[in-house]
Chain A
Amino acid sequence: MLERLNMTADPGSTTIVMTRFFDAPPSAVFEAWTRAEHIAHWWDPSGAPLAVCEVDLRPGGSFRWVNQGDKGTEHSFTGTYSRISPPDELVFAARTLPSGPYSLATLSFIEDSGGTKFTMTIECQSVENRKALLAMRIDVGTARTLENLAVFLHKTGRTEESK
């Protein structure tokens, strides 16, 4: 079963809030977000390990995650860390959509009955950015269906040996 991603956007502001529950403690979720050996194995929804996964985890340090993709479909996610407070908060500036403008992402990891309530707040710089984003009409047509993905990732997650 897939947990639902809960998403709200206040039309009057430039903020999007996403919340989701993970069945693992905050320290594990925080590590999965901040250690290259973990990120490389979950960032690409296809389950393929990343081609490049650079993480310079310090305020002002940058990160670059590039998936393998087929020719022309590689996507790189890059940004700069601004606050690192394990295990409950991580803040970075990045393009939170592949070809969107830079925005500030605040990730919070709160302990909740043995698991983690994860909240991601994306602050776009201005309403102008929202307009720009709409105009770009991000191509997400290549995405797999979520059902296939869940089955696939479960399998991948079980057979992976990181140590």
Chain B
Amino acid sequence: MVIDALSDSLGLTFSALADPTRRAILARLASGDADVSELMKPFALTQPTISKHLKVLERAGLITQGRDAQRRPRKLIGVPLRDVAEWVEPYRRFWELRLDSLDGYLKGMTAKEKRRAGKA
């Protein structure tokens, strides 16, 4: 059950991240909170378009809405991005070990060839 919930939220994260504009919005929020009008400027998008993207990001749990007196700044949440990194980690561990092993093997072969060439 826990795993189901986890995979589902990861699916949401992936589809939210599939859009380049949404990734750009996240990158912008990584450097500080911003409200809709602040986000509109760099992306040259209309307010409804920005709002639509923000909703998708919010549903995926990637951002949250803060409450200021006047503005409602959006804030980046790191947890779903960490889940993506965790997904890649088993691949890294599996392949890093094997490629390190290959590296050691190749170095051994090269050393042997040099020795052989030296004797000849």
Contact = CB atoms under 8 A, between A and B. Distances in A.
Given A7-B88, A16-B88, A96-B91, A153 B105 contact: yes
Given A32-B105, A133-B87, A156-B108, A149 B97 contact: yes
Interface string B51-70: 00000000000000000000
- Size bracket, chain B contacts: 35 or more
A64 to B, nearest CB: 16
Contact of A45 (B15, B87, B97): B97
B7 to A, nearest CB: 4
Q: Is the interface of B mostly helix, strand, loop or mixed?
A: helix
B119 to A, nearest CB: 14
A140 B90 contact: yes
15 contacts: A11-B18, A16-B88, A16-B91, A23-B110, A38-B105, A43-B101, A44-B101, A45-B101, A96-B95, A120-B95, A130-B14, A134-B3, A134-B87, A156-B108, A160-B108
Interface of A: 2-3, 5, 7, 9, 11-13, 16, 18, 20, 22-24, 28-29, 32-33, 38, 41-45, 47, 96-98, 118, 120, 122, 127, 130-135, 137-138, 140, 143-144, 146, 149-150, 152-154, 156-158, 160-161
